[in-house]
Structure 1
Amino acid sequence: MFHPLPVFIGLRYLRGRSGDKFGRFVSYMSTAGITIGVMALVTVLSVMNGFEGQLKHRILGVIPQAIVAGDAQHAPDVNTLANLEGVTGTAPIVSTDSVVQSPKSISAGKLLGVDVGAREPIREFMVRGDFDLLTPGSYNLVLGRKTARDLDVSVGDKVRVMITSASQFTPVGRIPSQRNFTVTGIYDTATDVDNQLMFGNLNDVARLMRLPRSQPADLRLFVEEPFNVPILEKVAESMGYEWSDWRALRGELFQAVKMEKNMMGLMLSLIILVAAFNIISALIMVVMEKQSEVAILKTQGMNHNGIVALFVVQGASSGVIGALLGGVAGSVLALNINEVMAIFNLSLLGGGLSLPVVLKPEQVLSVVIGAIALSLIATLFPSLKAASVRPAEALRYE
């Protein structure tokens, strides 16, 4: 089979001679280091993707992703906003900070007034009661499991809801707007949202907030990709609307997750970097050993670029093989990590919970390409050093 001469000689050097055991050992360790580094990076990134996906589903899928507010003269245009690129749906909403009191305890959180006839993702996480009982005039309330536990209440119990932003004057002074509500449902997202969000009927909450009847409800936007809300924010503000989104409530959390993901990727990339230094070491030893052969190749007519390509092929082969093996092994391990952990009786989350995994092919491809590129860069210095060999000096004592 025909190969270009530098490729043919480079692959032959890669196999090495039977007496060059140490050089082959260093080369094999370089390949193994890159394989382990790529495998670990692919596995960890896939698990981090899974955790990020769960957070997006359980938190950003529940809290209002974006809210557009107007006034009596400039109400949010439902049709215009619903047709924006990336918006998958709309629903009327009012929201306010509130305090909830039971006979045994007190808690605080954000009260959302919603329309039971509109789209509401919290239905997916209901564990007790019925969300559809939030009918107008019923003054019913849906709480998170943590809030219900803190208040020591269950479905059917009554709680007092107080809104400090809406107050009224009485003979004893200014007191917050308040009213008794009946707990008709409990939801559980297994996140801290459970002790922060409460749901009531849109009309009931608006009445408790003492909003004028002429004031329209705000418009809740459901977006295809919550991380793209800054683009929609510019469009909404250009229309003269007030804008708020999930970043005010959970921006810091997802920034922390992103930073942790980047730091884990950086630390695991150091494994690949160390393996690349092994490629440099192994290739320098080969160059020192092959000086006379390089000199002979030059006297036979091989040019500077051919010598460089020869040693690049030899050094980069370890990186290519290691990156490909690591990419395949990492993908297989990521997809079966829970089964592997079960074999060794390990449980990182406890309670029999499994690790969430989202394997992204484009991410695996970028890791593999990055490892190959790093191994190619590592071969440049030894290859250029080999190309600078002078035949007369190298063959002087031959």
Structure 2
Amino acid sequence: MLLSAYLSKRFRASSGGKDEKNGFVSFIAKASTVGILLGVAVLIIALSVINGFEQQLVHRLLSVVPQVEYVAPNRPIDNWPDKVQKLTQQRDVVGAAPFISVNGMAQYKSELKAVEVRGIDPTLESKVSAVNQYTKGKLVSQLGFDEVILGQQIVKQLGVTQGELITLLIPQVNKTSNDILAPKRVTLTLAGIIEMGGPIDSSAAFIHLEKAQRVLGYDLQQVTGLRLAVADVYYAHQIALRVGQTIDDYVYISSWFRTQGSLYQDIQMVRTIVYIVVFLIIAVASFNIVSSLVMEVREKQANIAILKTMGAKDSTILATFILQGLSQAFIGVILGSFIGVIVALNISELFTLLSQFAGSNPLEGVYFIEFLPSKLVWQDIVVTVIVTFVLAVLATIYPAWQATRVDPAKVLGN
């Protein structure tokens, strides 16, 4: 093996000669190294960004939107305090809270905006939602009886400021005939503003649970739904089905997979596409290794023939050219991993600088975050390196095998 490594080093040094053939072979070898470098770097950066989006989905969006909900479609859920206590005792349930949800309109002067009015218990809501982290002004856990907290986009569209009075138009239904009545006008003080980014900022309107009960004609024991926070969000649907069997009321079972599942599936689909596309790039770069080694073998036939006449074994020749191909891949992998890791660790700052330079943020108002997240996972780097080396080994086998088939008698005779 030491002899093969020495021969590989000498062949690699002689390939950088000034003649046209050696220069062309050297160019192809360097092109394959650059291709592997770019492929490895791009894959590490892309996977880090995808991991960052997934992390933000779990720790940012899913900490605010309902992870599991039980919604009563026909009549309100009675005796909600006992049911909340029963739900919190179930396995894998972190917290439970009641809510009343109804679609309505927010009005300020002549401006109107459709909102989802959500009556919440301020104390229990903080156990199932991290919305306090994204609230400016009075927190959701401090919400008063005659106060409302709105999303930032709603506030911006209405042109209202914190501390001013706004009106909520809440539809009323005749409980006997189910006829729709004129909406009830409720005047509240804007106590806080949710600044999270994404759809919540443009739809959420939180009011006190008792206020919602009074407006809709419910008693203090009635709500339209119960919300859970679970230990593992990826098993939220399974937990929802299991825990839902403990509720006697007729309810619809909903998890975040129904409301935000398409976003999670998009992230996983992008991850798969990135793997396929970038590994194809690395495969093409590895094919360049085949081309450069085939030309190298043709060029070094005389040297190979002389080595054979001096007693070099076929295994030595095979290992020599495999090592030569792997050296190209090794340089590309090391440099690509280094560049990929450095960029992945600083891509959020780079994205911010580029956005400031361009004067616009392409993520603003589109996704639930306005920055480019990154999470470097060492397993991704290991998989990338291993797969790249496997492709490089496969690429070197055929040219190296061809080198062992060189006939010294024919080559030296010519």
Distance in 1, matches of 2:308 and 2:237, equals 60
Deviates most, 363-372 or 348-357: 348-357
Distance 1:179 1:21, change over 3 A: same
Deviates most, 195-204 or 286-295: 286-295
Distance in 2, matches of 1:342 and 1:200, equals 35
Deviates most, 147-156 or 12-21: 12-21
Deviates most, 18-27 or 108-117: 18-27
**Residue matched to 2:64:** 62
Amino acid at match of 1:358: K
Distance in 2, matches of 1:348 and 1:355, equals 15
2:332 is the alignment partner of 1:316:
no
User: Which TM-score applies when normalising by structure 2?
Assistant: 0.77
**Residue matched to 2:168:** 160
Distance 1:322 1:225, change over 3 A: farther
Say whether the 8 Å CA contact 1:139–1:201 is kept in structure 2. Answer: yes
Pairing 1:33-48 to 2, within 5 Å after superposition: 33-48=35-50
Amino acid at match of 2:289: I
Deviations 1:308-363 (A, max 9, x none): 44322221221122112111121112323466678989646747986433222222
Deviates most, 110-119 or 73-82: 73-82
Deviates most, 316-325 or 265-274: 265-274
Say whether the 8 Å CA contact 1:107–1:147 is kept in structure 2. Answer: yes
Distance in 1, matches of 2:122 and 2:285, equals 58
Deviations 1:45-89 (A, max 9, x none): 33344344445444322211222458559975646655534x543
Amino acid at match of 1:302: K
Q: CA deviation at 1:146?
A: 1.0
Q: CA deviation at 1:148?
A: 2.0
Say whether the 8 Å CA contact 1:28–1:318 is kept in structure 2. Answer: yes
2:229 is the alignment partner of 1:222:
yes
Distance 1:374 1:77, change over 3 A: farther
Say whether the 8 Å CA contact 1:23–1:285 is kept in structure 2. Answer: yes
Deviates most, 5-14 or 117-126: 5-14
Secondary structure of 1:84's partner? coil
**Residue matched to 1:96:** 102
- The partner residue of 1:280 within 290, 296, 303 is 290
Deviations 1:244-292 (A, max 9, x none): 1223322223333443454455444444233222211111111222344
Secondary structure of 1:276's partner? helix
The count of residues paired between Structure 1 and Structure 2 equals 388
Say whether the 8 Å CA contact 2:170–2:185 is kept in structure 1. Answer: yes
Q: CA deviation at 1:196?
A: 1.3
**Residue matched to 2:24:** 22
**Residue matched to 2:313:** 302
Give unpaired runs (5+ residues) of structure 2: 365-369
Distance 1:360 1:22, change over 3 A: same
Instruction: Please give the root-mean-square deviation of Cα atoms over the aligned residues, in Å.
Output: 3.8
Say whether the 8 Å CA contact 2:79–2:221 is kept in structure 1. Answer: no
Deviations 1:166-196 (A, max 9, x none): 512799x631663404132222112221111
**Residue matched to 2:7:** 9
User: Which TM-score applies when normalising by structure 1?
Assistant: 0.80
2:118 is the alignment partner of 1:112:
yes
Say whether the 8 Å CA contact 2:333–2:388 is kept in structure 1. Answer: yes
2:201 is the alignment partner of 1:185:
no
Distance in 2, matches of 1:274 and 1:229, equals 41
Secondary structure of 2:197's partner? coil
Say whether the 8 Å CA contact 1:292–1:391 is kept in structure 2. Answer: no
2:385 is the alignment partner of 1:375:
no
Deviations 1:90-142 (A, max 9, x none): 3333333333344413222323222211214221112234534534xx24321
Identity %: 27
Deviates most, 218-227 or 368-377: 218-227
**Residue matched to 1:328:** 338
**Residue matched to 2:34:** 32
Amino acid at match of 1:189: M
Give unpaired runs (5+ residues) of structure 1: none
Secondary structure of 1:199's partner? strand
Amino acid at match of 1:376: V
Distance 1:302 1:210, change over 3 A: farther
**Residue matched to 2:413:** 397
**Residue matched to 2:211:** 204
Distance 1:342 1:292, change over 3 A: same
Distance in 1, matches of 2:103 and 2:97, equals 20
Secondary structure of 1:117's partner? helix
Distance in 1, matches of 2:259 and 2:308, equals 68
